[in-house]
Amino acid sequence: MRRCLRIGGAALLALFAGRSLVRAEAPLTVDQAVAEALQNHPSLKAAGARVDQAEASHRAVWDAYVPQLGGYAGAQVNQVSGNTTTTTPGGLFGGGETITQSFDENDTRFVAGATLEELLYDFGGFSADRRSTDSAHRAQLGALEAQRNEVTLNVKVSYYNLLRANRLLRYNSETVERRRARAQRIGELSRRGVRGRKDVLQAQLDLAGARLNLARSQSQITDVEAAFLDAIGQRKRSNRKLVDDVSLKPVRLTLEQAVERSLTLRPELAQTRFAIESQEAVVDSVRASYLPRISAFGSVSSITPTGSSDLDQLTVFTGGVSARVPTGWIFNRARRDRAAASLAELRARELELKQSVTLDVSRHYTSLFEAVERTRITQELANDALANFRETQTRYRKGRASISESTDAYTFLYDARVSFIQALYDAKIAEARLERAIGASL
């Protein structure tokens, strides 16, 4: 019976454990954090809205070829006054007669009609506008991709900063517990007369220093947590654990290859190229605006008499081709000069951006290798510091080393381990920055 109860109890425990595992949230990887940010970050939503605006502007250019329909209605008052002179020829018995008559007539008519105008040709203005808006749309797509890369970098940097802060918090918490246990142990030894007052004071001072380091870590964790939430575009995050992976990707590109790839893949450069194409089309559009616009037009008017007028209703149809010739360019060509200056500025900006991208890749390429080397050196230093601390502790327990030597050895170990932790995540951040500079994953 007891055996059955034990088996049943174990089965229930396994069932509850299984349910808790089902409810537990899976750890949040850096790629999942990036995916959440790319879906939720407000800056990307704003950039997406700008893309939609540019696309709508491109479609709206067709409005130039939409027929323009107009209508009118009103009253037409006609007033005629004057004199008429009639001369009759003379006959056999006398001369002719001249008769002068005065007249003053007026009538009112109701006039209504409609007009229709259709653009036929504008010497390339429409096609230039289409090219301009299409390139502007592509430039906004490049800006969106650049913003996605920026969001990705911010997520990775804040993710690894948060991992580093958590690891330092755990390490400082462990240090406080070790320092507290050490202070208690030395205090007991002091009461038994084995250790002196100096050892007790040094142990208490070491404990106070460890507690200060822990307080700084607790304060820092709040800041990096807020930065991480801002990077992923959320106000609060669930208690999902982060995946503490500090393995580095192999770098198979030379510096020259990395620079060449960045000049091909960086979306900022594509954005600038499309902006130049858009401005070139704007220059063509301005030039076309100085040329005539040829349109076809047609109208119909209905003239209806009112009151006691004896006139009949009249319908008038009109149609033809018109040409509007602008004359403003004769007096001022500021619009053309402004468009040309904007184009020159964009071309200069493209050269400046290429130089900046080259420098950015070079700097982050060397920074990554420096960070990797610093990781290797600090790891060796931490191993040496641990061996030195253990040797010093052995001598201290045997009374061959002072409390100051023990403290110095542990301080050296603590600093070496903190430097190693810093170097680990600096290398991951350097890797993320290099990928951002290239515009693609390594």
pLDDT at residue 3 in the model:
43
pLDDT at residue 11 in the model:
39
Taking the CA atoms of residue 246, residue 249, residue 250 and residue 254 in that order, the dihedral angle to the nearest 10 degrees is: -120
In single-letter form, the type of residue at position 364 comes to H
The residue behind tokens 């939430």 is 229
Q: Give 264's contacts (C-beta < 8 A, 6+ positions apart).
A: none
**pLDDT tens figures, 23-57:** 456 888 999 999 999 998 999 999 999 999 999 99
Q: What is the pTM of this model?
A: 0.79
Is 155 within 8 Å of 336 (Cβ atoms)?
no
Domain 27-66+122-291+326-438, CATH homologous superfamily name and number: Outer membrane efflux proteins (OEP) (1.20.1600.10)
Sign of torsion over alpha carbons 220, 223, 227, 230: positive
Pairing label, strands 97-121, 293-305 = antiparallel
DSSP summary character for residue 107: E
pLDDT at residue 92 in the model:
56
pLDDT at residue 6 in the model:
44
Which SS3 state, helix, strand or coil, does residue 242 take? strand
Overall average pLDDT of the 352-359 stretch: 96
- Please state, in angstroms and rounded to a whole number, the distance separating the CA atoms of residues 37 and 428: 19
Overall average pLDDT of the 283-298 stretch: 90
- Phi, psi angles (nearest 5°) of residue 176: -60, -45
Domain ranges of the chain: 27-66+122-291+326-438, 67-79+100-121+292-325
Q: Two tokens at 111?
A: 């006039």
Closest CA to 183 of 200, 195, 197, 166: 200
- Please state, in angstroms and rounded to a whole number, the distance separating the CA atoms of residues 5 and 230: 52
Confidence band for 370, pLDDT divided at 50, 70 and 90: very high
**pLDDT tens figures, 60-113:** 998 888 898 999 898 877 777 777 776 666 555 555 667 777 766 677 888 888
pLDDT at residue 46 in the model:
94
Is 217 within 8 Å of 168 (Cβ atoms)?
yes
- Please state, in angstroms and rounded to a whole number, the distance separating the CA atoms of residues 246 and 429: 10
Q: Which of 1-15, 38-52, 385-399, 400-414 is predicted least confidently?
A: 1-15
As a CATH number, domain 67-79+100-121+292-325 is 2.20.200.10
**pLDDT tens figures, 67-81:** 989 998 988 777 777
Overall average pLDDT of the 293-304 stretch: 89
Whether the per-residue pLDDT at 418 is higher than 80: the answer is yes
Angle between helices 197-232 and 30-40 (to 10 degrees): 40
**pLDDT tens figures, 174-227:** 999 999 999 999 999 888 888 888 999 999 999 999 999 999 999 999 999 999
The residue behind tokens 């290859």 is 257
pLDDT at residue 20 in the model:
38
Can 27-66+122-291+326-438 and 67-79+100-121+292-325 be said to share one CATH topology?
A: no
pLDDT at residue 364 in the model:
96
In single-letter form, the type of residue at position 278 comes to S
- Please state, in angstroms and rounded to a whole number, the distance separating the CA atoms of residues 81 and 75: 20
